[in-house]
Amino acid sequence: MTAPIYNRVALIGLGLIASSMAHAMKTGGLAGEIVGYAKSADSRAVALEIGFIDRAADTAAAAVVGADLVVLAVPVGAMGAIAADIGPHLLPGATVTDVGSVKQAVIDAVAPHIPEGVHFVAGHPIAGTEHSGPRSGFASLFKNRWWLLTPAEGTDPAATARLRHLCESMGAKVDEMEAAHHDLVLAVTSHTPHLIAYTMVGVADDLRRVTDSEVIQYSAAGFRDFTRIAASDPTMWRDVFLTNKDATLEILGRFTEELFALQRAIRLGDGDHLHAYFTRTRAIRRGIIEAGQDTAAPDFGRAQPPAKGNAG
């Protein structure tokens, strides 16, 4: 068996991402010991019961003692306060990372509390489901998914390489980029689509000419996917929009311009414009499939019943 990449990992927050990391590290023998902390005593108890942590700590500060890797897996709005709490207790030479989907705001909030001799390498695994909590994690969550690292200038390359090795050992594909660029990219690929999904589900709720039962009973694939996205954790997404507001507002402005152009084409009966637009955007979908980030199966991501004659 290969030696662990980290001797002791402290997970601050025990939801989907942290629990999946723990399962993956346990499966691969990537950590000698995993210590967990969550604000909820129930979450700590569940994590111990499932067995994806070896020890639970009553405070974040206690959790990080002796850890050579600390993972901040809490909503981005809470990371600054957590960093201030754990800073004095961090092991010299340790690495601190996070899993937030906004990077510049996290770096601004966390970095001032990281003592000299401790390495902060901000990160973002682009993986998830609509489920949350310590029971939601599974070891294969990161398989073939991107994990973006945004180390600040001057970060120890060896610390970044070691964290990259962990992410790759959990099945992820790793890339590095500047934090501001990350936030703009994610505003396009994740943040604004989530906001649009929340809005569309809200429109359906407000449109009283369509009853709740009809919305649920006759949901087509597009609306079903909107509701899946809109089921995501509300605290996390509130913090995402408040901390990545500039990039999100920029992309929302572009979206509004595109939407007005489509409204005009529909109003004027401009079928050529609509067909050309849909043809161009369809090509992006093909590119996503060809890049291995999805499959062409129309119900990808939904549980499928086993085929007849198949044991499962």
Strand pairing report for 119-120 and 31-37 = unpaired
154 and 204 in a single domain? The answer is: no
For residue 59, pLDDT beyond 80: yes
The answer to whether residue 294 is domain-embedded is no
114 and 32 in a single domain? The answer is: yes
Per-residue pLDDT band at 213 (split at 50, 70, 90): low
Question: pLDDT of 233-265, one tens digit each?
Answer: 788 888 888 888 888 888 888 888 988 898 999
**Rg of the chain's alpha carbons, rounded to an integer?**
21
103 and 216 in a single domain? The answer is: no
Question: pLDDT of 124-162, one tens digit each?
Answer: 999 987 788 999 999 999 999 999 999 998 999 999 999
List the CATH number of the domain containing 160.
3.40.50.720
Name the 3-class secondary structure at 98: strand
Per-residue pLDDT band at 214 (split at 50, 70, 90): low
List the CATH number of the domain containing 236.
1.10.3660.10
The answer to whether residue 286 is domain-embedded is no
What does the pLDDT read at residue 294?
Answer: 63
CB atoms within 10 A of CB 174: 17
State the DSSP H helix or E strand holding residue 176, giving kind and residue range, or none if neither.
strand 173-176
Strand pairing report for 123-125 and 95-98 = unpaired
- Domain extent, residue 207, equals 181-269
Please tell me the least confidently modeled range out of 91-95, 144-148, 187-191, 291-295.
291-295
23 and 101 in a single domain? The answer is: yes
233 vs 23, more confident: 23
Number of structural domains (the chain) is: 2
For residue 74, pLDDT beyond 70: yes
Please tell me the least confidently modeled range out of 46-55, 122-131, 161-170.
122-131
Among residues 47, 120, 108, 115, the alpha carbon closest in space to that of 80 is found at: 108
What letter would DSSP give residue 293? S
Among residues 57, 55, 16, 63, the alpha carbon closest in space to that of 33 is found at: 55
What does the pLDDT read at residue 243?
Answer: 87
The answer to whether residue 86 is domain-embedded is yes
The answer to whether residue 104 is domain-embedded is yes
